[in-house]
Chains A and B, each alone.
Chain A
């Protein structure tokens, strides 16, 4: 009890620190770097969505790292929950016919919707991550409708691997063409502002990210749902 009290006091003191820092959080004019992003973003990348330009091009290296984090967490969760040999998961109860059919019917439109989101990532809000999450929700639907359903792991894994590798390869293309990893300018034609085929390699990368995120999140859901339940107990 005392510990919890001390904990609350500590949180309050941290609050005081934040309050002391409040003046820093007031609105300020754009800084020099971000001013460049805003003013030159269209000129340099042709992508209508400036956030996408930053995420995929100016700070594309971060995003590569971000994709890696996701990949890593999913692999890690899978590694932690990996099935021990000889353990077969218990069969689960199935949902009603209606739900199963509906989920199968809905699967394709939802995936399509996800794809729509990441294909338009450079034009409208949303992009690879959001689209990927939508695709994962389609998979979730399938999994919920029929818990014994085993996802086509091979297929997912192939998509996961090759989209990730494709991302790196795109970076190499930039390196080869301009001498800078993940470069956009000078790789393919930037196209016209506010069109689907514009913004150079940004849509390409976002599609790859969308595929990768979608397959990864699907794997994650599958891992969590079908996790090995048998503990080793107290060894």
Chain B
């Protein structure tokens, strides 16, 4: 095969020839440029395939000499991947930049090509001085290419970058020269061997030399505190150019840093590098949250991502973290950041406000943007997720487990600003602001660049995902894939898409669910799977009737359903977490489709992703104890068990909107698209309950039973659930918006299931599971009914509605049944749920909590009453006279649910008996007995049919009485009130349904003041304030940045000199060197006489245990 040296030689030759080619015409020069890049990419690809087939890494000599004599280069898998990546990005960048007017100078092309060539050389070379040469080539090319940008800003940034870069290259050059002096060689592999044979007099000094070198590279990799100029560069330079730099030079420099770090076995320098890397990750991400300028924000993000990779260098070297993990992160960042930068260039918006309505109507670009953001924040299925997981997993098992903490913190900040950016892109529709579409017009060639990158990301990510899925879950993958296809394929035919989604889910249900009901309900997986699929199918059915969803709605729903099913099937921690995160982002995107959901969606994803990080932390604790499978979580004990349980519970409770973490929930439930609210509230909110029951409980293991702590952890959870139920119910009472009312109600009702779970007894779990199914049925139905009302009237506020019973009688029946079920009164299923819950609580002995729960369910009556009263009863408003009944698909979906509610109400025993098998498998026994129609608990029995019959009789009697003997309604004019002198309130406020419970509100005011919201606001404002102040660190003055660089070296140099062993103390160094005789000319060390032809193929096999300073210290004593 062709020698990889051509990867450097051919582009160099081409670069020299470019000016000549340009004399023949610009297309010739451009063609030469593109062909060269194609050649390089093709060559790298061929070698990569050869390596896959088992070929060994290639050692390339130059000048005809073997390694230590001549300069040698290495071309192995790592180099091939980096070169391929660089060539690909450069090729696409060349396409992207082709039309820019600045490219009209051929020197622009020359610089572009040399930028790439320098990176290739930097990636492949194994000679330290050659590293310096190629470092200079790529740096100079970076400096020069800055002139592509808007004139002044780009040049300013470029000059600052040069000032700091010049200092860095002085350090690097000095470091390399001193290393040569100490080891007598420049070849990296040779030096790795010889660095142990350094004369003892100078061995302790190597730490200082490596510090010089490491400082140089920390500057070159733009670590904090040296990242000021680099961030300015992002801000000032044409983004298309920065994408090229990110894809080539940045990776090459990082890889070179890796090579240099091979030398630094010295623990001290390694710690410095790790610390600086992690600090960069956290600080850059943190400062970015206050960054209003988009490109600058991207710069902070790049710095942070690079910081994470630099942090990993010593860990990968010492085998604590696999190289593959870092590689995944790198590939992910390169592709995603390149795509984002190109998009930023296409749009041209400077500040967040400019981005409002970005890419509206350009679906492909919008999807690309979303894909890139989801990828860069490390969410599945993209490569960055797998990389981050692997990093966390291996860190957890290494002695560096505590570093996970800042890692998670930095990731959280990353979510904040990236999702904040997306939030700014889709402001609420009534926030006015027409979309500003700025930026130069662009052609297909420019637009295709980010698409290619995002496509590569997605393909690579899915390829990994296919590996990670359980082998029998192909159906899930198919479902998800179909969803993605629906997402991407253009065209706006919501009904057809809904139909396709419906069919897909039906097929999936056929494939994955066991058909026998007993079997279906007899496992957690089956029970929750049925809920997910049934919910999905019904929502899609309803979608056939509405057809006003935004594009992507049904595709995302399929992805959401697939990921939810995957959560249920997951057996490993990784599979579970991946599915959990996909579920989070796909549901977030669905929430975001609501018309006023900007803020709601933002809060949703912040808490969702933050909860995800808590879950990851919990899993990290588990993995640190050697657990990889969910079923093994039970093996945890002691402190790890408690920590894992607490973190997991926190994560899941955040998703379940437990009190304290519920801030997101009312907004998300109510502002979602009308066809998604039923699914979000009915189905997605059940998944945390599943997770608590199957995952968190196991992690808790014996801790939960053994009462290690003064407070039983689960008792705390139960109280949180109780408070949630009470508080949310109280708040629901005062809502003026029917979806919002249902939203508060949902949060409160799910809390019942949490309380049931926390009781941790067979009876409690029966109650919880019963409540889960129950809530799914009635809340999905209610939300669908409300969706029908909104669909027909367009109104959501109670004061805009009323008297619809005559226009929408069927919907009225559904709502009526629904609220009875919610209220927990006989004869419907809600009663059974509460009956079970109270029994379980009393059995457990938590009497006070029992009282609270009872109070909460009583408080629910007033708000439930409003649903009937304000929507359907009373007098029909004039503007609603033309209203028709909801479309039939909506009604059909509700009808199915109605039937199920009835079945559950009449035969609670049948359901409970099959659920009991799950409980028995968990607890080894059940709390209930079943005889015919009777269910017997510890405190009494329940007979579904009996109650039903009894209530029916009562109801009929009552109804007949009212019908014949009740008062007749009197018709009055609406909104017709006489004023006497006072300022008239807006008509809305005089509606009978407006602020119906205002009197109670006055009484409960202090209790309702949301301390939680205030707390979170305080947290947000404080963080903003600190970030705002922290950003002042970057003064914009190039000299200040240079000062940071020197100060860094000075402080660490002093620290090293004072911490170094006695031999390195500056006292009388000159005499010392002579006294040891090591420098005596003529009697050179014996090593010099050795034959120098060493094993040429020796790679970086560096003994992990070798540290330099202690060796020298011993020798010096």
Is there a contact between chains A and B in the complex with CB atoms less than 8 Å apart? yes
Residues of B within 8 A of A157 (CB): 19-20
Residue B806 at the A interface, CB < 8 A? no
A62 close to B1046 (CB less than 8 A) = no
With the chains together, A79 CA to B181 CA distance in Å?
A: 39
The digit string for A1-42, where 1 denotes a CB below 8 A from any CB of B, is 001001101111110110111111111111111111100000
Residue of B61, B184, B211, B1060 near A33 (CB, 8 A) is B184
* Contact between B140 and A61, CB atoms less than 8 A apart: no
State whether B140 touches A76 (Cβ < 8 A).
yes
**A60 touching B141, Cβ below 8 Å:** no
Whether a CB of chain B sits under 8 angstroms from the CB of A235 is: yes
In the complex, the answer to whether B1066 meets A19 with C-beta atoms within 8 Å is yes
| A14–B209 CB distance below 8 A | no
**B105 contacts A by Cβ under 8 Å:** yes
Tell me whether A164 and B62 are in contact in the complex, defined as CB-CB below 8 angstroms, given that A14-B1050, A29-B1085 are known contacts. no
Given A16-B1054, A17-B1049, A72-B141, is A180 in contact with B65 using a C-beta cutoff of 8 Å?
yes
Considering the complex, give the chain B residue whose CB is closest to the CB of A57: B63
Q: A32, B12: Cβ atoms under 8 Å? A: no
Minimum CB–CB distance from B662 to chain A (whole Å) comes to: 49
A12 CA / B205 CA spacing, docked (Å): 19
User: A36 to B69, Cβ gap below 8 A?
Assistant: yes
Contact B1046 A180 (CB under 8 A): no
* A29 and B1088 within 8 A (CB): yes
* B245 in the interface (beta carbon within 8 A): no
Among A20, A59, A64, A184: residue with most chain B CB under 10 A: A20
Nearest Cβ on chain B to A59's Cβ, whole angstroms:
6
Nearest CB on B from A123, distance (A) = 20
Name the interface residues of B1074-1098: CB closer than 8 Å to any CB of A: 1074, 1078-1085, 1087-1088, 1090, 1092
Q: Please tell me if the beta carbons of A20 and B105 are within 8 angstroms of each other in the complex.
A: no
Give the distance to chain B from A225, nearest Cβ to Cβ, in Å.
Answer: 18
Q: How far is the CA of A34 from the CA of B69 in the complex (A)?
A: 8
B188 to chain A, nearest CB (A): 13
CB–CB B1088/A35 < 8 A:
yes
- Say if the beta carbon of B1057 comes within 8 Å of chain A: yes
B residues near A19, Cβ cutoff 8 Å: 1066, 1069
List A contacts of B970 (CB < 8 A): none
A192 within 8 A of B: no
CB contact under 8 A between A16 and B1084, given known A80-B144, A174-B64, A180-B64: no
Measured CA separation A77–B141 after assembly (Å): 11
A129 interfacial by beta-carbon distance below 8 Å: no
Interchain nearest-CB distance for B624 vs A (Å): 39
Q: Are B63 and A76 interface neighbours, CB within 8 A?
A: no
The answer to whether A24 touches B205, judged by C-beta atoms less than 8 angstroms apart, is yes
Give the residues from 691 to 707 in chain B that come closer than 8 angstroms, CB to CB, to chain A. none
**Chain B contacts of A13 at CB under 8 A?**
1049-1051, 1053-1054
Known: A32-B185, A69-B137. A182 touches B1064 (CB 8 A): no
**Contact A23-B1069, Cβ < 8 Å, known A32-B68, A65-B137:** yes
A58→B187 CA distance, assembly (Å): 12
Given contacts A68-B114, A71-B15, contact A20 B1057 (CB under 8 A): yes
Asked if residues A169 and B1079 are in contact (CB atoms below 8 Å), the reply is no
**Assembled-state Cα–Cα distance A60/B141 (Å):** 21
B181 touches A68 (CB 8 A): no
What residues on A are CB-neighbors of B353 within 8 Å?
Answer: none
Q: Within residues 152 to 183 of chain A, which ones have a CB less than 8 A from any CB in chain B?
A: 154, 157-158, 160-162, 164-165, 167-169, 171-172, 174-175, 178-183
Q: How far is the CA of A219 from the CA of B671 in the complex (A)?
A: 65
In the complex, the answer to whether B17 meets A58 with C-beta atoms within 8 Å is no
CA of A79 to CA of B148, assembled, Å: 9
Closest to B1047 in A: A10
A11: which of B69, B133, B211, B1046 is its contact (CB, 8 Å)? B1046
Task: Confirm or deny: B9 has a beta carbon within 8 angstroms of a beta carbon on chain A.
Answer: yes
**A26 touching B1053 in the complex, CB below 8 Å, given contacts A65-B121, A80-B155, A162-B20:** no
Against A, the Cβ 8 Å flags (1 = close, 0 = not) of B474-495 are 0000000000000000000000
Which residues of B are found within 8 Å of A12, using beta-carbon distances? Answer: 1050
Q: How far is the CA of A80 from the CA of B1049 in the complex (A)?
A: 32
- Closest A residue to B68 by CB, please name it: A33
Contact A26 B1074 (CB under 8 A): yes
Contact with A along B486-520 (1 / 0, CB 8 A): 00000000000000000000000000000000000
Size of chain A's interface in residues, with CB distance under 8 A?
78
Q: Check: A94 CB closer than 8 A to any chain B CB.
A: no
Type the 1/0 row for B1065-1076, where 1 means its CB is closer than 8 Å to any CB of A: 110011011100
Task: Give residues 198-244 of B contacting A (CB, 8 Å).
Answer: 201-202, 205, 208-209, 211-212
Pairwise interchain contact A235-B150, C-beta atoms closer than 8 A: yes
State whether A21 touches B205 (Cβ < 8 A). Answer: yes
Q: Are A79 and B111 in touch, CB under 8 angstroms?
A: yes
Taking the complex as formed, is A234 at the interface, i.e. its CB lies under 8 A from any CB of chain B?
A: yes
Assembled-state Cα–Cα distance A37/B127 (Å): 16
A6 CA to B1048 CA, complexed, in Å: 12
Contacts of B1090 in A (CB 8 A): 32
Choice from B64, B133, B134, B209 contacting A21 with Cβ under 8 Å: B209
Mask of B903-933 contacts with A, CB within 8 angstroms, 1/0: 0000000000000000000000000000000
Cβ A6 vs Cβ B1066 within 8 A: no
A190 CB to closest chain B CB, in angstroms?
A: 12
CA distance A25 to B181 in the complex (A): 8
In the complex, whether B143 has a CB less than 8 A from a CB of chain A is yes
Q: Is A185 an interface residue (CB 8 A)?
A: yes
**In the bound complex, do residue B63 and residue A79 qualify as a contact, i.e. CB atoms below 8 Å apart?**
no
- Residues of A contacting B275 with CB < 8 Å? none
Which residues of chain A are near B1054, meaning CB under 8 Å?
13, 16-17
B440 to chain A, nearest CB (A): 15
Q: Residues 180-202 of chain B: 1 if any A CB is under 8 Å from the residue's CB, otherwise 0? A: 11111111001000000000011
A7 to B64, CA, bound (A): 47
| A186 / chain B contacts, CB cutoff of 8 Å | 64
- Contact partner, B1079, options A14, A28, A65, A79, Cβ 8 Å: A28
- Contact flags A70-106 to B (C-beta < 8 A → 1, else 0): 0111011111101000000000000000000000000
- Does A66 interact with chain B (Cβ within 8 Å)? yes
Which of B23, B130, B201, B1064 contacts A61, CB < 8 Å? B130
In the complex, A26→B1079 CA distance in Å? 7
In Å, the complex CA distance between A72 and B133 comes to 12
B-contact bits for A180-203, CB 8 A (1 contact / 0 none): 111111100000000000000000
Looking across the interface, which residue of chain A has its beta carbon closest to that of B70? A58
CB distance from B783 to the nearest CB of A (A): 54
| Partner among A7, A23, A172, A181 whose Cβ is within 8 Å of the Cβ of B60 | A181
Q: How far is the CA of A32 from the CA of B1040 in the complex (A)?
A: 43
> Are A60's CB and B62's CB within 8 A?
yes
A164, chain B: closest CB distance, angstroms: 3
Residue B288 lies at the interface, judged by CB distance under 8 Å to chain A: no
New contact pairs (16) apart from A13-B1050, A17-B1054, A32-B68, CB-CB < 8 Å: A9-B1050, A14-B1050, A20-B1064, A29-B1084, A30-B184, A57-B63, A62-B127, A65-B137, A68-B114, A79-B108, A154-B23, A164-B12, A168-B12, A169-B13, A178-B64, A180-B64
8 shortest interchain CB distances as A-B pairs: A31-B184, A76-B144, A29-B1084, A183-B64, A13-B1050, A164-B16, A17-B1053, A23-B1073
Mark A residues whose CB is within 8 Å of B.
3, 6-7, 9-14, 16-17, 19-37, 57-62, 64-66, 68-69, 71-73, 75-80, 82, 154, 157-158, 160-162, 164-165, 167-169, 171-172, 174-175, 178-186, 232, 234-235
Task: Write 8 A-B pairs (CB below 8 A) sorted by A numbering.
Answer: A10-B1050, A22-B1066, A59-B129, A72-B137, A72-B144, A154-B23, A175-B3, A185-B64
Mark B residues whose CB is within 8 Å of A. Answer: 3, 5, 9, 12-13, 15-20, 23, 60-65, 68-71, 105, 107-108, 110-111, 114, 117-118, 121, 127, 129-130, 133-134, 136-137, 140-141, 143-144, 147, 150-152, 155, 178, 180-187, 190, 201-202, 205, 208-209, 211-212, 1039-1040, 1043, 1046-1047, 1049-1051, 1053-1054, 1056-1057, 1060, 1064-1066, 1069-1070, 1072-1074, 1078-1085, 1087-1088, 1090, 1092
